[in-house]
């Protein structure tokens, strides 16, 4: 496990690598030219699925027309909520100046992108949401709250009849889907809103479906590092592990190595100090039974822009489905990806 926590040795700590190593050089013999170098038994494929804050600052904002879509971002006091509001504002989406938060946040006003957003506590949510929805018939709610609130929030949205994008992880997911299915409310539900990470997950699912048992007998080590405020294990890590299980790997979810200590994240994982409060570093290391072959999959994300931009794409996608009166009402980020660039 110590090797998994060692900082990567590539040029930038924010790069993502999927690496494969073969322990016996003789396995390279006879391989077609271009697949293996004659004297090399290790190769890496770089995946560009991270976005640092510095890099994001150099990306020009698109000049976009205002849309007729309104969004209400719950938990706007949180960093993720604020990131979504900024991304939505850049995309020309109208931000409703109302948000739901914890009881202790009730009455607070949060300023984001020059807009003052009033936070309401739990006691008055239903009447306020119904009023906001009546005043903004094209409303879509964005939920980035806490795992314990997932099911109650979904029940509220479905009771009022307002469509929503759920990026919060945790909760009773089976009950969540049942609640939405029974109500017929349109929703995008995904524990992972970063489109590039979702594409990686989709590729893993295809591999698991096409080649079941391909990694039978291999051992798996999983490390995931997130900011200290993230209480639960990563839903993305669980999804990737599920794919490995289908590929024949024996692994229990409680074996995931959770790193939440900032000192360990700096010294052992290699998280840049400026991103300790917002990052997602994942490593999946597989080893063959005889220890001669290893595979390592790694995806590292710094900051929250990748999730915020994906969330806005999910909002635009959902608005399109509502307008077309699509038969299907529950979508995920794979559906959003298949639709193509929404902006």
Residue 82: phi and psi, rounded to 5, are: -65, -40
Token pair of 134 as six digits = 């009546």
Do 47 and 197 form a contact (C-beta atoms < 8 A)? no
Token pair of 275 as six digits = 């991103």
Sign (positive/negative) of CA torsion 167, 169, 173, 175? negative
Closest-CA residue to 333 (of 310, 303, 302, 316): 310
Do 259 and 225 form a contact (C-beta atoms < 8 A)? yes
Cα 96 from Cα 72, distance rounded (Å):
5
272: three-class secondary structure by DSSP? coil
CB-based burial of residue 339 (10 Å sphere; 0-12 exposed, 13-18 middle, 19+ buried)?
middle
CA distances 271 to 74, 191, 206, Å, are: 28, 22, 30
CA distances 152 to 73, 126, 158, 176, 185, Å, are: 16, 11, 10, 9, 15
Side-chain half-sphere exposure of 204, counting CA atoms within 13 A: 24
Token pair of 142 as six digits = 């964005």
Side-chain half-sphere exposure of 39, counting CA atoms within 13 A: 0
Cα 189 from Cα 104, distance rounded (Å):
27
Cα-to-chain-centroid distance, residue 237: 10
Residue numbers annotated as active site: 226, 230
Cα 337 from Cα 3, distance rounded (Å):
34
CA distances 154 to 113, 162, 189, Å, are: 27, 10, 10
């Amino acid at each position: 496990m110590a090797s998994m926590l060692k900082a990567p040795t590539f040029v930038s700590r924010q790069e993502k690598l999927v690496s494969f190593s073969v322990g016996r050089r003789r396995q390279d013999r006879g391989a077609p030219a271009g697949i293996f170098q004659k004297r090399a038994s290790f190769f890496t494929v770089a995946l560009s699925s991270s976005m640092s804050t510095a890099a994001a600052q150099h990306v020009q904002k698109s000049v976009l027309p205002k849309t007729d879509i309104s969004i209400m971002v719950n938990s706007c006091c949180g960093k993720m909520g604020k990131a979504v509001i900024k991304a939505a504002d850049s995309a020309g989406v109208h931000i409703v100046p109302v948000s739901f938060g914890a009881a202790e946040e009730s009455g607070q006003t949060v300023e984001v992108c020059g807009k003052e957003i009033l936070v309401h506590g739990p006691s008055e949510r239903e009447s306020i949401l119904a009023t906001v929805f009546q005043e903004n018939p094209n409303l879509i709610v964005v939920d980035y709250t806490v795992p314990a609130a997932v099911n109650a929030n979904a029940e509220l949205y479905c009771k009022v009849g307002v469509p929503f994008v759920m990026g919060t992880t945790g909760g009773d997911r089976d009950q969540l889907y049942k609640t939405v299915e029974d109500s017929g409310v349109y929703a995008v539900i995904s524990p992972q809103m970063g489109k590039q990470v979702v594409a990686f997950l989709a590729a893993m699912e295809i591999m698991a479906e096409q080649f079941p048992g391909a990694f039978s007998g291999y051992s798996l080590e999983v490390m995931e590092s997130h900011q200290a405020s993230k209480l639960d294990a990563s839903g993305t890590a669980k999804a990737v592990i599920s794919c490995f299980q289908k590929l024949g790997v024996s692994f229990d979810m409680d074996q995931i190595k959770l790193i939440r200590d900032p000192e360990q994240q700096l010294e052992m994982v290699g998280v840049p100090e400026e991103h300790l409060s917002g990052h997602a570093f994942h490593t999946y290391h597989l080893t063959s039974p005889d220890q001669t072959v290893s595979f390592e999959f790694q995806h590292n994300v710094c900051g929250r822009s990748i999730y915020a931009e994906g969330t806005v794409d999910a909002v635009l996608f959902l608005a399109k489905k509502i307008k077309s009166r699509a038969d299907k009402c529950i979508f995920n980020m794979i559906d959003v990806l298949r639709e193509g660039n929404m902006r």
